[in-house]
Chain A
Amino acid sequence: MSSDALWWRVAWRNLWRNAHRTWITASGLAFGYFASIVLVGLTDGMNAELVENGTRLMVGQVQIHAGDYLPERNMHRTIGGYGGTDVESLLTRIEDHPDIEHATPRLFGGGLLSSGERTVAGLLLGVDAEREVHVSTLLATLDEGRLPRGGAFEVVIGQEMARQLEAGVGDEVVVVVPAADGSMGNDLFTVSGIFQTGTPGIDRDYAVLPLADLQSLMAMAPGRIHEIVTTVTRSRETPAIAASLAAALETTAPEDPEPLDVKPWTELRPELHEAVALMDSMSFVIVIIIFAMAVFGVANTMLIGTFERRREFAVIRALGTTGSSVSRTVVYEGVMLGAISLAAGALVTWPVMVWWHRTPPDLSRWLRGFEWTGVQWRPVLRVEYSVDAPVVTGVALFATAIFAAAYPAWRATRVPPADALADR
């Protein structure tokens, strides 16, 4: 044990006898660690961004409907049937789930909007604006004007619809929608704002108004809604969260006349799910390439460094040290070097990751957002923390450093010291 402590001390002194070499090797290790972690974080961030971009604008991450609402979207199939439901208590029950962040109710109607000579077909979306802003960014994309106030017959419409109607903020539009009693609900509304999501289908088709106003226009009781949209704490685990939410809702309210249909975004937007899975596998290849290069760089530096020391090993052995002791010292050196370098690497990496995660550089000064696969993208590059990457990368680089040092040392001990000293 005491001799072991001695070898540790020898190894430690060795490291600093040639501080130059130690710094070079350490920098390689630390940077390799840094680059791998940041890159994993960046690719995770891009994928999280893809999921959130795809769900943030309208879809949300979990949607709840009456069991027979999808896919027909028949307007009579409200949650809780014809009688509707106690919306507030249902929302409370949903938000009680630990993985649900926010929930918001919605009502849909397919109708007409008309201004002057112009008439367009549109989708009317009734929302609770205070809740909606926590779940979707739709109302945050107001280009002009302000959110509609309840009871004031106000509506916000998309930018393309406004263009087609030739209507601006403050103008009156007639809203016509088939009501639940078979009549034609119609009333005069004022455009209080115009939104621009950048997604053509939404900017052209949607008109958003307070939930209660749409309910009265469609001759529906206040308890009648079509949809509850929620956001979850961990978007990539949505399917599991949706399943557990469904189970929780079933047990807390077995008296519901109809079962609720709880769907995660992976089912609502399967093409987005595919895109994310594909991006994941592409990121995997990128990370592997970077990782391979980092490992190779460390191994190479260690190999050359240790090979260059064969004369030194020969001298020590000529002085009577056994080969295994030499190897042991080199391994100890590697352990200490690796631990110090990786600790330093982590110390540098962590603040960068935290900073990058908190304040992702926004490229929107140079780039505008865009739509891809029906998904609205923000031009930001952000990083996400990964649980595995720091550990896996650390262990792999550590092991690489030790093996890459031990192998040439072991080789050196098999050459007679005299040959090594003679450079043969």
Chain B
Amino acid sequence: MRRTFPAARTRRVLASAVLLLVSALWSPSPVQAQTAREILEQVDQLLRGESSRGRVTMSIATEHWARDLEMEVWSLGTEHSLVRVRSPAREAGTSTLKAGREVWNYLPRVDRTIKVPPAMMMGSWMGSHFTNDDLVRESSIVDDYDFEIAFEGARDGVEVWEFELIPKPDAPVVWGSVEYEVRKDDMMPTHVEYFDESGELVRTMVFSEYRRMDGRLVPARMDVVPADKPAERTTLVYHDLEFDVGLDESFFSLRNLRARR
């Protein structure tokens, strides 16, 4: 009798998507990096405790509809983030707070905050190809995966490393493997591919438009494409980005989630 509506495959999420997004904002000095583990641990370490604020456009295209959302994003390390929709007007003010492992939504139309229940964590976040769980999964690449350098050399004239990430036997990760390509000279990621256990590609993230923001080189654009629906995608484009903006944990509170700003 009970009906469950399947979360569309395309909305399936990656545990570390946001982490990767944020990690991409950093450009650690590449020179000392020797092994895959060392490189990635370096990224991991640098992320802790850093705060940022930025303006982002999220464009979502699906088989059935397409739309753009202007959003403002604040974050503190990997534990806290707050996203507020600025336009379109109809949805302006809609906000999402991630605090630890919980996700809260603020709906200005009804002036309520709603905690996303566990059963909906795999649901789409704001209709995008991210799930609520993507926001939350405090997945540490270093803890969950074993790495090796699968490829090292020139691709399309650019020197890159391609890391192959294999989940550790016990790690609560759904992927069979993840391929993560990084440019050698500036450590900028170029793309990440997610495979299931039979080696079939499930989702691709592509980074582009590398720009310097607040003094740091970042990939300003990220596209997420589900492999079984190549016509669908979610695109994030950063318009501006600041670092060390002096936020602490108190900023990421329910009270602040509700505050209309």
Residues in A lying within 8 Å of B, measured CB to CB: 57-59, 72-76, 82, 108, 110, 112, 114, 117, 119-121, 123, 174, 176, 178, 180-184, 186-188, 199, 201-202, 204-205, 374
In the bound complex, how far is the Cα of B153 from the Cα of A201, in angstroms?
A: 56
Cβ–Cβ contact A182 & B2, under 8 A: no
In the assembled complex, which residues on chain A have CB atoms less than 8 Å from the CB atom of B115?
114, 117, 119
In the assembled complex, which residues on chain B have CB atoms less than 8 Å from the CB atom of A73?
3, 5-6
Interface size on B, residues (CB 8 A): 32
Q: In the complex, given contacts A108-B5, A112-B117, A114-B112, what are 17 additional A-B residue pairs having Cβ atoms less than 8 angstroms apart?
A: A57-B1, A76-B63, A82-B64, A112-B114, A121-B117, A176-B107, A176-B114, A181-B65, A182-B65, A182-B66, A182-B67, A183-B90, A184-B105, A184-B126, A184-B127, A199-B1, A201-B2
In the bound complex, how far is the Cα of B109 from the Cα of A57, in angstroms?
A: 35
Partner of B112, one of A74, A76, A174, A201: A174
Cβ–Cβ contact B1 & A374, under 8 A: yes
Cβ–Cβ contact A183 & B91, under 8 A: yes
Cβ-based interface call for B124 (8 A): yes
Residue of A nearest to B3 (CB): A123
Residues in B lying within 8 Å of A, measured CB to CB: 1-6, 8, 60, 62-67, 90-91, 94, 105, 107, 109-110, 112, 114-117, 119-120, 123-124, 126-127
In the assembled complex, which residues on chain B have CB atoms less than 8 Å from the CB atom of A174?
107, 110, 112, 114
With A119-B114, A174-B107, A201-B1 in contact, is A182–B62 under 8 Å at CB? yes
With A119-B114, A119-B116, A174-B110 in contact, is A180–B64 under 8 Å at CB? yes
User: Interface SS of chain A: helix, strand, loop or mixed?
Assistant: mixed
Cβ–Cβ contact B3 & A119, under 8 A: no
In the assembled complex, which residues on chain A have CB atoms less than 8 Å from the CB atom of B124?
178
Residue of A nearest to B104 (CB): A119
In the bound complex, how far is the Cα of B143 from the Cα of A291, in angstroms?
A: 73
In the assembled complex, which residues on chain A have CB atoms less than 8 Å from the CB atom of B109?
186-187
Cβ–Cβ contact B110 & A188, under 8 A: yes
With A108-B3, A176-B107, A374-B1 in contact, is A76–B64 under 8 Å at CB? yes
In the bound complex, how far is the Cα of B63 from the Cα of A123, in angstroms?
A: 23
Partner of B120, one of A112, A117, A180: A112
With A178-B124, A180-B65, A183-B67 in contact, is A110–B5 under 8 Å at CB? yes
Cβ–Cβ contact B62 & A75, under 8 A: no
In the assembled complex, which residues on chain A have CB atoms less than 8 Å from the CB atom of B60?
182
In the bound complex, how far is the Cα of B208 from the Cα of A144, in angstroms?
A: 58
In the bound complex, how far is the Cα of B66 from the Cα of A96, in angstroms?
A: 40
**24 A-B residue pairs with CB within 8 Å:** A82-B64, A110-B4, A110-B5, A114-B112, A114-B114, A114-B115, A119-B115, A123-B3, A174-B112, A178-B124, A181-B65, A182-B60, A182-B66, A182-B67, A183-B90, A184-B94, A184-B127, A186-B107, A186-B109, A186-B110, A188-B110, A202-B2, A204-B2, A374-B1
In the bound complex, how far is the Cα of B1 from the Cα of A112, in angstroms?
A: 19
In the assembled complex, which residues on chain B have CB atoms less than 8 Å from the CB atom of A57?
1
In the bound complex, how far is the Cα of B90 from the Cα of A117, in angstroms?
A: 25
In the bound complex, how far is the Cα of B2 from the Cα of A58, in angstroms?
A: 10
In the assembled complex, which residues on chain B have CB atoms less than 8 Å from the CB atom of A199?
1
Residue of A nearest to B107 (CB): A186
In the assembled complex, which residues on chain B have CB atoms less than 8 Å from the CB atom of A120?
117, 119
In the bound complex, how far is the Cα of B34 from the Cα of A123, in angstroms?
A: 52
> Nearest 7 A-B pairs (CB), nearest first?
A201-B2, A182-B127, A110-B5, A121-B119, A114-B114, A182-B65, A76-B64
Cβ–Cβ contact B117 & A119, under 8 A: yes
Shortest Cβ distance from A208 into chain B, in angstroms?
13
Shortest Cβ distance from B94 into chain A, in angstroms?
7
In the bound complex, how far is the Cα of B94 from the Cα of A76, in angstroms?
A: 24
